[in-house]
Amino acid sequence: MLTIALEKAAAINTYAKTHLTTLEADYLTPKDWKQLRTIKDFLQPFHQATLKTQGDNATLNKVLFTMDVLIQWFKASLVSKFSLKIK
């Protein structure tokens, strides 16, 4: 959903501006669009992991390795976003 929304951002903005009186509380600001791009970028590895570990080819070894990779991605994201030190 985020991918499509970001692809259609110009059309969504045009529509929202046309109906601003009705959608004022839900209007997406440039800051909101930036946050949506950040969320999409963060979630991308989770999407890829889901595709790689679904179906009959999902061995326990593959799933555990993928989970380890996602944990590292999550930790790295926390460190870069919040300057946290994680063990």
What is the Cα–Cα distance from 76 to 1, expressed in whole angstroms?
A: 25
Least-confidence region, from 14-23, 49-58, 78-87: 78-87
Report yes or no: 86 and 72 within 8 Å, Cβ to Cβ. Answer: no
**3-class DSSP state for residue 85?**
coil
What is the Cα–Cα distance from 48 to 44, expressed in whole angstroms?
A: 6
Report yes or no: 49 and 69 within 8 Å, Cβ to Cβ. Answer: yes
User: Is the whole-model pTM more than 0.85?
Assistant: no
Which DSSP symbol is given to 8?
Answer: T
Q: What's the one-letter identity of residue 64?
A: L
Q: Is the pLDDT of residue 55 over 90?
A: no
Looking at residue 15, what is its pLDDT? 92
